[in-house]
Amino acid sequence: MSLVSRSFKRSGFISIVLFGSCLLCSFVRGQQLAPFDSTKLSADELREKRLKWFREARFGMMIHWGLYSVPAGEWKGKLIPGLGEWIMNRGKIPVGEYEQLSKQFDPEKFNAAEIVRLAKDAGMKYIVITSKHHDGFAMYHSTVSKYNIYDATPFKRDPMKELADAAQKVGIKLCFYYSQTQDWHEPDAVGNDWDFKDDSKKDFAKYLKEKVEPQVTELLTNYGPIGLIWFDTPRNITKEQSQELVDLVHKLQPDCLVSGRVGHGLGDYDSAGDNQISVGQVKRDWETPVTMNDTWGFKKDDTNWKPTSILIRQLVQVASRGGNYLLNVGPTSEGLIPQPSVDRLKEVGSWLKMNSESVYGTGPSPFSYELPWGIITTKPGKVYLHVFDWPQNGLVLFGLKNKVKRAYLLAGNVKLKFTQKNDSMADHYAVSMALPTAAPDKNDSVIVLDTEGDVSVDPALMQQPDGSVTLPAFLSNVHKAAGEEGLRFDSRGVAERWLNKNEWVDWNYKISKPGDFDIVVLTSEQKYGRDWEGGHSVTLETAGQKLTAKIENNRKEENPTNPYWKYVISKMGRVTIDKPGQYTLSLKPETILADKKLGLTLVSVKLVPAGKN
């Protein structure tokens, strides 16, 4: 789909025009308007209608709050490793013992209006709160199960009702997280293998009928209009069962969205993995949930807060790929959002106040790859350069074909001097901007380019002004082995499940400044995941030269926008490219170690000017 038709579709422009012209016709003919009948819309049109607010939102607050905030990561004097909201599972706590937490749960300091105000001031447009997480405890007054905050705790209030009222007042959408498969409190649900060991005795359909469907019905009946239901972890659920949930939500509230994690690709939009940010030109509407520290539910020993700069950069990165950034907070058992989260949200809010134009209502980056200094968002006639690493000698952007009319810093509207050189013979385009020496904003300084016409760029993978070329795995041409499922890309665009050495990839790229280049392979390591896997060997071939080497851990580098995924750099050797022009680089596995579950994984291959690596 072209950028133009995509951005039209995304802004809902087509439907506004249709409704608008319809209204006008009726007015001209002097007829009374018939009430809008949504039953006449096709399934696709209904989804488009539902997605309208979501596409504009860009930024939401996720709240993980439940009984688990009472132990806050500690059980019987021992710190339980892992996520705070998983303490029941990680500690194999019997249902009868975990239930007792409800007697201590009295979050008297909970103040819905304050939480909603915090979200609003941070620039968030929706709130997704855990109405029931995997522990099975309902955080609202449910009549389906007494295991809920109103009936089972001394609190005797319904925080979802209070939030619904507060959110309605300030125009924020309230949305509910609901764990549809895992429910460690219920014998027939998924997940509790310590109390309910015998899987053959489990009747998952019964749990769906007797708990999930009636509770989802309550949530969509008693709390006013709900923006979306955020289902999660679709384990052991059939396609028919996921579809029934989707249908139930849409029957009760046709405008309510269903998250991608309902299962089987049936949601209204896609959900990236936790703390994962999608790359490239993402085809479906999407959202990513992100933690501010390491856990979702409050955990007293988790002080690993991400700096505000990372949060702002991630928000922008997600926006530049057309997605929504859902940033989590985990209130304490008193009902308070931890101060480090409050501080960060305020800082994000102040940044957005100055720079919101470059986030809300923007289109995706015209480049399918990331740029070395930051990220791009767009609007008709405007290109927003989000500069994270402020260069000392001005900024050069390659590949933009539009004539630039004006360049300025968004904050304060400060005019910048620039020159533009468009050499269509050599197919080389460059805008060079003179910049103040100090970064105007330590988190993200936004430069605006006012351009003539719809933004158009050179789609080639090209050498950047610093001389390097990055060849991301997800932009490679994949040569599949016949009949094999094989190599695929995760939502970060990283190649995985590359187990067959007959599969290989290649890229075309453009060099404008020839020279000697070191070739490095980037793989990645998850902070709290499995250990880094390498040791496979590959052959890289480009410009008539061949390098065979092992993928090793020569050096680790921070991923500038995501502390969860470090880069692991493997040096493969040096090549010489003596002329400007188009080249191909191929990467073929020699050996893939069989004991590695994900096989050969790959973030990108980079050509770096010799010695600069």
* 228-232 and 257-258 beta bridge pairing: parallel
Q: Would you say how long the chain is, in residues?
A: 613
579 burial type by CB count under 10 A (0-12 exposed, 13-18 middle, 19+ buried): exposed
CB atoms within 10 A of CB 442: 14
Piece of 79-87, 337-345, 380-388, 592-600 that binds ligand FHN (CB under 6 A): 79-87
The radius of gyration computed from the CA coordinates of the chain, to the nearest angstrom, equals 26
- Least gap, CB of 176 to ligand FHN (angstroms): 13
- Least gap, CB of 275 to ligand FHN (angstroms): 9
Contact map string, positions 133 to 152, toward ligand FHN, x by CB under 6 A = --------------------
Piece of 83-91, 362-370, 399-407, 569-577 that binds ligand FHN (CB under 6 A): 83-91
Nearer to ligand FHN, 311 or 469 (CB): 311
- Least gap, CB of 280 to ligand FHN (angstroms): 22
- Least gap, CB of 231 to ligand FHN (angstroms): 10
Angle at 377 (CA atoms; ends 363, 505), nearest 5 degrees: 90
Q: CA–CA distance from 536 to each of 32, 473, 598, 602 (Å)?
A: 71, 16, 12, 11
Nearer to ligand FHN, 8 or 194 (CB): 194
- Least gap, CB of 83 to ligand FHN (angstroms): 5
- Least gap, CB of 295 to ligand FHN (angstroms): 9
Binding flag, residue 85, ligand FHN (CB under 6 A): yes
- Least gap, CB of 276 to ligand FHN (angstroms): 10
Residue selected from 274, 458, 541, 552 as contacting ligand FHN according to rule CB under 6 A: 274
Copy the structure tokens of residue 413. 């509207």
Nearer to ligand FHN, 232 or 285 (CB): 232
Nearer to ligand FHN, 204 or 373 (CB): 204
Nearer to ligand FHN, 293 or 512 (CB): 293
119 burial type by CB count under 10 A (0-12 exposed, 13-18 middle, 19+ buried): buried
- Least gap, CB of 559 to ligand FHN (angstroms): 19
Q: CA–CA distance from 287 to each of 10, 230, 245, 305 (Å)?
A: 14, 11, 20, 21
Nearer to ligand FHN, 6 or 264 (CB): 264
Nearer to ligand FHN, 85 or 370 (CB): 85
Beta strands in 424-480 (DSSP E): 428-433, 445-451, 461-462, 469-472, 477-479
Residue selected from 296, 351, 390, 489 as contacting ligand FHN according to rule CB under 6 A: 296
Nearer to ligand FHN, 301 or 557 (CB): 301
Spell out the alpha helix ranges (H) of 135-257.
Answer: 159-170, 204-207, 213-219, 239-252
- Least gap, CB of 228 to ligand FHN (angstroms): 14
Site for ligand FHN in 214-273 (CB under 6 A): 232-233
Q: Which residue is nearest to ligand FHN (CB)?
A: 289
Piece of 66-74, 80-88, 165-173, 527-535 that binds ligand FHN (CB under 6 A): 80-88
Q: Give DSSP secondary structure letters for 514-579.
A: -EEEEEEEEEEEETTSSPP----EEEEEETTEEEEEE----EEE--TT-TTEEEEEEEEEEEEE-S
Binding flag, residue 493, ligand FHN (CB under 6 A): no
350 burial type by CB count under 10 A (0-12 exposed, 13-18 middle, 19+ buried): middle
Piece of 78-86, 104-112, 458-466, 592-600 that binds ligand FHN (CB under 6 A): 78-86
Nearer to ligand FHN, 184 or 369 (CB): 184
Nearer to ligand FHN, 86 or 184 (CB): 86
Nearer to ligand FHN, 233 or 420 (CB): 233
DSSP letter assigned to residue 392: T
Binding flag, residue 289, ligand FHN (CB under 6 A): yes
Which residues, 6 or more positions from 148, have their beta carbon under 8 angstroms from its beta carbon? 137, 138, 139, 140, 141, 142
CB atoms within 10 A of CB 483: 6
Helix (H) or strand (E) holding 592: none
Segment 201-204 long-range contacts (CB within 8 Å, at least 24 positions apart): 204/236, 204/237, 204/241
Coil, helix or strand at residue 611: coil
Piece of 81-89, 306-314, 362-370, 578-586 that binds ligand FHN (CB under 6 A): 81-89
- Least gap, CB of 268 to ligand FHN (angstroms): 17
Nearer to ligand FHN, 231 or 429 (CB): 231
For residues 261-296, b (16+ Cβ closer than 10 Å) or e, as one string? bbbeebbbbbbbeebbbbbbbbeebbbbbbbbbbbb
335: left (phi over 0), alpha (psi -120 to 50) or beta: left
Site for ligand FHN in 86-115 (CB under 6 A): 86
Catalog residues that contact ligand FHN under the rule CB under 6 A: 83, 85-86, 232-233, 274, 289, 296
